[in-house]
Amino acid sequence: MIYKLSAQKTFSSAHALRGYKGKCENIHGHNWRVTAIVEGRKLNNIGMLVDFHVIKDILSGVVEPLDHTNLNEFSPFDKINPSAENIAGFVYARMKKALKALGLGAVKLAEVTVWESETSSAAVSE
Catalytic residue, from 25, 28, 68, 73: name it: 68
For the segment 49-79, what is each residue's pLDDT rounded down to a tens digit?
A: 999 999 999 999 999 999 999 999 999 999 9
The structural domain count of the chain equals 1
**In the annotation, is 68 catalytic?**
yes
Question: What pLDDT sits at residue 103?
Answer: 86
Is the per-residue pLDDT at 106 higher than 90? no
Mean of the pLDDT values across residues 21-35?
Answer: 96
Catalytic residue, from 24, 28, 116, 126: name it: 24
Where in the sequence is the domain holding 21, given as residue range(s)? 3-124
Phi-psi map region of 42: left, alpha, beta (phi>0 left; psi -120 to 50 alpha) = beta
CATH number of residue 97's parent domain: 3.30.479.10
DSSP per-residue string spanning the chain: --EEEEEEEEEEEEE--TT--SGGGS-EEEEEEEEEEEEES---TTS-SS-HHHHHHHHHHHHGGGTTEEGGGSTTTTTS---HHHHHHHHHHHHHHHHHHTT-TT-EEEEEEEESSSS-EEEE--
How many Å apart are CA 9 and CA 66, to the nearest integer?
A: 11
pTM score over 0.85: yes
Question: What pLDDT sits at residue 12?
Answer: 98
